[in-house]
Every structure is written in C-alpha cells, then in structure tokens.
Structure 1
C-alpha cells in the first residue's frame, strides 16, 4: 500500500494505492462515509485499486463551506487530479452508491479519461423516487426480520435519516442502520460486526456552495454515455436496488449487468469472489 496527498484549490486530497493490474479508481459512497469500508482485497488481485479519500469524510480535509459544496463536479475534479498525479491518461472508475452518481457524471463529462465505468449499487436518480423505492425494499427487510430484537432501533434510525444535520448523528445512524444494507447481517454477524463498529461518517448537506440542493437525474443523458459500463447490484440492496440497476443497464448503450443473488448493498463483502470475478472480467 502507498498513500499519496495532493493539493486541489488549497485542499488536501489523499488517495491510497493497493494491488496490481489495470488502474481502477474507487469512489466510496455516502456522501460523507469514510473510504476504508471499500477495501477489496479480492479485487486487488486483478487491478491496481486506487481508493480516493473523498474530501469532507472523516479524517480528510474539508471544503471552505463544509458541509456544503460537495457537488459531483467537485468530486470529478479530484478524480482528474488523482489521474494526473498517477500519470495515467485513462483508467477505470468504480463508484459505489453515491460514488456511482459521481462516476456517472464523470463518464458523461470526461469519457476520454476512462477505459470503462463500474456503477456499483447505484441509481440514475435521487430524490423522492429513490426513497419511495427504498422504503418499499426496507419494508421487505422488516418483513424478513420481523422477530429480530434490533429491528425497532433500525426502524427508528431509518426514520431519522431525513433529519440528520451533524457528524455524530451521521455515524450513529449508519451503525444502527447497517444491518438493513446486508442480505442477512445476523447470519454472519461475527464477520460483519467489525465493519459495523468501525464505519464512520460526516454530515454532508447535499447542497452546493450557494446552498442550492444538487438534484440528480441522469436518465435522459445515459443514452449518450460512450464508455463501456459494468452495472453491479445486490438483489437484496434496499437503497439502490435492482430496479435502478436495470434502469442503468437499459439506458446505457455499452453495459453489462451483474446481479449478486446473495448480497445487499455490500457485494464486495458479502460475495467477494463473485464480485471480484465480475471486475476482473470487465477490466480484462
């Protein structure tokens, strides 16, 4: 592993390099979630994984108007700078969850810098449509685990999401809610509990530096996406589930869809071998 720090507009940007093979930049989700949950040892056997540590996340530098200003274009400029620092004219880009929104934007605005884009448990749209579908899938999660004693606290955390406005609450809600992001967290709790205890997040407002909300709906533009795309989804993902993966796949001209039958939102943890194989096939 090597860690690198560069400067963008007076703000430090770190990234971490692991593995070997074709260069693939990794952009984590949230926004505001610490990058290290994204470590993919199995994938690192096939690609040089460059984990971007997004500004505004725990331990990273913050923008002058934090928690505002973290737009997709600002993240895209960080990707440009990392590629330049690596000396890479082109690379693959993987975006997970909110990082998938960033990856879509980057692929649409800077296709000449990509060999391909990997949209991992993401969606072409945010807002009420996304959360209505998430509520439907969350109801399915509740039905599957209706007798679990943790369920009331998880439901309470989900209801708290729209009111989050500080870092401490962000981390508390993520840790409480995390089982909902897995197909069956409790079946492998000994394996997954370390991630749950360590996950950290900072509050990011979703507004630009002028306090205007960043509304995302890429559906009309996806037909113009000109680089090869791999869409990966866990069939039990409640937040960015199969409906959105199918829509991404149907709208992107050169796309491959991989559905992980035994995963929720974290296929690289729940089905690491199948996930790594999909990445290897795409980048090969």
Structure 2
C-alpha cells in the first residue's frame, strides 16, 4: 500500500494504492463519508485499486467554502489530477453510491480517459424521486424488523437526516442507520460491529459555491455514455436499489447488470467473492 498527495487549486488531495493489475480508481460515497469503508481486499487481487480520499471527508482537506462547493465536477477534477499523477492513459473508474454520480458524470464528460466505468449501488437521479423510493424501501425494512430493540432509534435517525448540520450528528446518524444498509445486519453483527464503530462522516451541504443545490438527473443523456459500463446492485439496497440499477442498465448502450441476491448497499462486504468476480469478469 502506498499513499500519495497532490495539490489541486491549493487543496490537498490524497489517494491510496492497493493491489495489482489494471488500474481502477475507486470513488466512495456519502458525500462526506470517510473512504476506508470501501476497501475491497478481494477486488485488489484483480486490480490495482486506487482509492481516492474525497476532499471534505474526515481527515481530508476541505474546500475554502466548506461545507459547500462539493459538486461532482469538483470531484471529477480530482479524478483528472489523480490519473495525471499516476501517469496512466486510461483507467477504470468505480463510483459507489454518491460516488456513482461522480463516475457517471466523468464517463459522460471525459470518456477518453476511461477503459470502463463501474456504477455500484447508485442512481441516475437525486431529489424527490430517489427519496420517495428510499422511503418505500425503508418502510419495508421497518416492517421486516418490527419489534427489534434498535428500531426506535433507527426511526429517529432517519427522520433527523434532513436536519443534519454538523460532523458529530452526521457520524452518529450514519452509525445508527447502518443496519438499514445491509440485507440482515444483525445476523452478521459480530462481523460488522467494527465497521459500524469505525465509520465516520462530515457534514456536506449539497450546495455549490453559490449555495444552489446540485440536482442530478442523467437519464436523458445516459444513451450517450460511450464506454463499457458495469452496473452492480444489491437486491436489498434501500437507498440506490434495483429500480435505479435497471434504469442505468437500460439507458447505457454498452452495459452489464449484476444483481447480488444477498446484499444491501455494501455488496463488497456482504458478498465479497461474488462482487470481486463481477469486477474481474468485466475487466477481462
């Protein structure tokens, strides 16, 4: 493993290199979630995984207008800089969750830099449609685990999401909600409790430098995405689930869809071998 530091417009950008094989940049989600949850040891057997540490996340540098300005074009410029620093002509790019918005944008605007794009538990759209679907899936979760002693705190945390304004409450809410993101967190709690305790987040506003919300709907332009795409989704993902994976797959001309039957939002943790096989087969 090596860690590298570069400068982008006066802001420090770090990235971490693990594994061997074709180069694949990994962009974590959130936004504002520390990148370490995305480590993929099984995938690293097949690719040189370059984990970008997004600015604005815990431990990373911040933009001058923090917590604002973290647009996907700003993150795309970081991808440009990392590729340039690596000295690669073309790479694969994976985006998980909110990182998938960055990966879609990058593939649409800079296809010449990519051998392929991997859209992992993400969506072509943000805003009311996404959150209406998420609420429906959240309700299914609460019905499935009705009576579980953690459920009242999970319900309170979900209701608090729109009001988050600081790093402490963001991290606390992420940890409380984490079981919702797995197919069955409590069945594997002994293995997952350390991940829950370690995950951290920073409050990121979702506003650009002019304090305007960045709304995303790529559905009208996905037909112009010209690089091969792999769409991976966990069938129990409540936030970026099968509906959105199907839309991505149907609209992207050269795409492969892999659905993980026993995963929620973290297939690389819940089904690591199947997840790694999907990546290896795509790159081959």
How does the TM-score come out when normalised to structure 1? 1.00
Q: For residue 57 of structure 2, give the secondary structure of its aligned residue in structure 1.
A: coil
Deviation by residue 1:260-281 (Cα, 9 ceiling, x = unmatched): 0000000000000000000000
Q: Does 1:74 pair with 2:81?
A: no
| CA offset digits 1:213-270 (Å, max 9, x no partner) | 1010000010000000000000000000000000000000000000000000000000
Listed as ranges, the matches of 1:128-167 within 5 Å are: 128-167=128-167
Which residue number corresponds to residue 204 of structure 1?
204
Residues 1:41 and 2:41 aligned together: yes
Q: Secondary structure at the match of 1:88?
A: coil
Structure 2 equivalent of residue 260 of structure 1: 260
Q: Are 1:219 and 2:251 counterparts?
A: no
CA distance in 1 between partners of 2:221 and 2:165 (Å):
32
Look up the match of 1:236. 236
Secondary structure of 1:3's aligned partner: strand
Match of 2:192 in 1: 192
Gaps of 5+ in 1: none
Cα distance in 2 between the residues matched to 1:89 and 1:203: 34
What CA deviation, in whole Å up to 9, does each residue of 1:24-70 have, x standing for no partner?
00000000000000000000000000000000000000000000000
Task: Say how many residue pairs are matched.
Answer: 284
In the alignment, which residue of structure 1 is the partner of 2:269?
Answer: 269
Runs of 5+ consecutive residues of structure 2 not aligned to the other structure? none
Instruction: State the shift of 1:89 in Å.
Output: 1.2
- Structure 1 CA distance, aligned partners of 2:110 and 2:229? 14
Residue 20 of structure 1: aligned partner: 20
Please give the TM-score of this superposition, normalised by the length of structure 2. Answer: 1.00
State the partner residue of 2:52.
Answer: 52
Moved over 6 A (4+): none
Q: What is the root-mean-square deviation of aligned Cα atoms in Å?
A: 0.4
TM-fit CA distance, 1:144: 1.1
CA-to-aligned-CA distance 1:150-206 (integer Å, 9 cap, x gap): 011001101111111111110000000000000000000000110000000000000
In the alignment, the residues of structure 2 paired with residue 174 and residue 266 of structure 1 have an alpha-carbon distance, to the nearest angstrom, of: 14
